[in-house]
Structure 1
Amino acid sequence: MVRSYILLLFCVCCWGSNFVFGSILVNEFPPILLSAMRLSATSLFLIGYGWYFKKMGQLTRRDFLLLVPLGFVGTLINQASFFTGLETIDATTASLVLSLAPITVAVLAAVFLKETITRKMVIGSLIAMVGIFFVVGKSGGIKPSIGMLYILLAMVSFAISIIIMRKLTERIDPLTATVYSTVIGSSMVIPVALIKEPITHVSSHPWAWVLLFVTAILMQGLCGLIWNVQLKRIGAGKASVFLNLQPFVAMVVGFLLLGTPVTMVQIVGSLLIVGGVVLATGFKKEKSEASSGKPVTASGMIQKLPKVNG
């Protein structure tokens, strides 16, 4: 369980910094075309990963009934709305809107996956959300805009994709689900990008292309794979609580890379966010149980990434 939390924390740190990197990249590339190029790089990485480890499972027609909607909602809608929204609102505000994802996922998981919403999860999530408002407090409030609507759509589509992915991984391996859903989503985004945003207005800076491909492989490819494996391990509701950390990470990365000032109020908010996540996930309790020598059940076994056969 501790390993799962560390891996989820790694994913959220990468995704939180993605707000800052995404804001930089949309100044260098058209948003839909940027999404298409990143997804293409991600797809090639995942296909190569699956081929190398020989872990690609067989699919049935029933699997595609979930994979196609997952690719459409979790990839086309999510990526297009995310980068389009970042054209008009700042990274910190976007991270605040997306911080609604944990409670959205928890409700959807309770309805569609019959997962339990515990009192600790509710209290911890509320504490974390209070901290989130402290973190973004220096911006002077949140003003409705078309960009915010796009980010809200990105949040809802992301929450829905988590539920679909959790349902899908009950039937097939997380690696197989991740690869096929990404490839299907990419095949939907690329035609839209080529029609709406021809390949003319792209960056001439080499660093922008390096940043594009590195973030695609790391944040969408590797982190997506790790997240989906751990999603099957601990459940959608509990995993989504870690998403509350994204505004905190966006604030830190913004300070380190862009020099965005950090106030004492934001530091207090950050402590509330971290404390809320720790409470909601029950990290201390599970850690103490692991160290007490109690037997670990099959549901408590750590899911690892695929290893090379032989």
Structure 2
Amino acid sequence: MNSILNDKQQGLLAIFIANTIFGLNIPVTRSIVAHWMSPMGYTITRMLFGAIIFWIISSFLKYDKVQKKDLLMLMIGGLMGFLGTQLLFSQSLEYTTPVVFSLLMALTPVVVLILSAVMLKEGIPKRKILGIIISISGAALIILLSGTQGEMGSNNTLGIFYAFLCVLCYAGYLVLTRKISMKYQPVTVAKWMFLFSALASLPLSYSSLQNQRMFSDEATFQAYSLLAFSLLFSTTMAFFLMPVALKRLEASTVSIFMNLQPIVASVVAIVVGQDAFTWDKPVAALLVVIGVYLVTTQKGNQHKKEVATKKSVSQT
């Protein structure tokens, strides 16, 4: 793979696949929390499964020793990006619709840019700002029109509140864990973050899991299939690909791909009959694609300048 794709291309492919999976998991999660599991029970199940599967995978790979000083950041990253984000994610979908939630998550790049500029001293090129404005305008288009079309959840205000908290947690996770993701292998990052998340949720495991309808005789094959997709693809594959992307791309570039999630979620909702095809959806999708292109590509002179800078830094 290294001979076919360079580091940036690998990062772009990883984040594209991860956010496609996350987009698919939005309607999946909505169905699970609506019929089979509570948000807390669903989140704890994912954290426990992630910890077990990534520690098993790591046992077959070369040992990657983690410095003690980095364990604190891995714990913070796990609590924010894994436990916190996923709990708020499922809490939000208990009250609002998948499309509204995914479109609100498109605000993540704005928060990431601000945090990156303040904490990581990353520059914000005009081209990237323009791309984010265009992509966010696409997300805002559906958000505004969805409110007039009656596509609201049982308590949309509370759902939106949880969604905004989810944005803050996820943006903080992307910014804070970028250096850690560059330092260690993806499996190493994932196994420690899931472990800390699982340990934090362990005191609530028994009370939260024993009454879940998913683990009773009422559960159907469809219910198990939805949970299997969430555990194998969203919890395992997507969370493995996130450190891969963070190791190769800026946090702001990674976050802009969040805008793929509303596209995927909207398409799935339309296909399964949970939403209707309206003019605003393809227009919004086009705006998002244009924004992603502007953010993930650079002008020739700028790219050459960055390459020269990196070479001079490596030589010092």
Structure 2 letter corresponding to 1:145: T
Q: Is the 8 A contact 2:11 2:244 kept in 1?
A: no
Aligned mate of 2:256, from 241, 245, 252: 241
Question: How far apart are 1:39 and its partner, in Å?
Answer: 2.0
Determine whether 1:269 maps to 2:284: yes
Determine whether 1:200 maps to 2:211: yes
User: 1: distance between equivalents of 2:245 and 2:310?
Assistant: 12
Q: Is the 8 A contact 1:95 1:246 kept in 2?
A: yes
Task: Spell out, residue by residue over 1:69-90, the C-alpha distance to the aligned partner (whole angstroms, 9 max, x if none).
Answer: 1222222221211111111111
User: 1: distance between equivalents of 2:97 and 2:198?
Assistant: 26
TM-score norm. by structure 1 comes to 0.85
Alignment of 1:103-252 (within 5 A): 103-140=110-147, 145-195=157-207, 197-203=208-214, 204-252=219-267
User: 2: distance between equivalents of 1:56 and 1:179?
Assistant: 12
Structure 2's unaligned 5+ residue stretches are 1-7, 312-316
User: 2: distance between equivalents of 1:279 and 1:192?
Assistant: 44
User: 1: distance between equivalents of 2:247 and 2:288?
Assistant: 24
Structure 1's unaligned 5+ residue stretches are 291-295, 301-310
User: 2: distance between equivalents of 1:136 and 1:145?
Assistant: 13
TM-score norm. by structure 2 comes to 0.84
Task: Spell out, residue by residue over 1:96-118, the C-alpha distance to the aligned partner (whole angstroms, 9 max, x if none).
Answer: 22111111112111221222211
Aligned residues: 290
Q: Is the 8 A contact 1:113 1:167 kept in 2?
A: no
Q: Is the 8 A contact 1:63 1:168 kept in 2?
A: yes
Secondary structure, counterpart of 2:184 in structure 1: coil
Question: Which 4+ residue blocks in structure 1 deviate beyond 6 angstroms?
Answer: 296-300
Question: How far apart are 1:144 and its partner, in Å?
Answer: 5.9
Q: Classify 1:186/1:213 alpha carbon distance in 2 versus 1 (closer, same or farther; 3 Å).
A: farther
Task: Spell out, residue by residue over 1:37-56, the C-alpha distance to the aligned partner (whole angstroms, 9 max, x if none).
Answer: 1222222222222222x134
Aligned mate of 1:23, from 11, 21, 30: 30
User: 2: distance between equivalents of 1:2 and 1:70?
Assistant: 25
Report what 1:48 is aligned to: 56
Report what 1:36 is aligned to: 44
Structure 2 letter corresponding to 1:216: L
Higher percent of residues as helix: 2
Alignment of 1:77-96 (within 5 A): 77-96=84-103
Secondary structure, counterpart of 2:272 in structure 1: helix
Report what 1:306 is aligned to: none
Question: How far apart are 1:298 and its partner, in Å?
Answer: 11
Question: How far apart are 1:137 and its partner, in Å?
Answer: 4.2
Question: How far apart are 1:66 and its partner, in Å?
Answer: 0.7
Q: Is the 8 A contact 1:96 1:136 kept in 2?
A: yes
Q: Classify 1:48/1:265 alpha carbon distance in 2 versus 1 (closer, same or farther; 3 Å).
A: same
Report what 1:102 is aligned to: 109
Question: How far apart are 1:259 and its partner, in Å?
Answer: 4.5
Matched-pair identity in %: 24
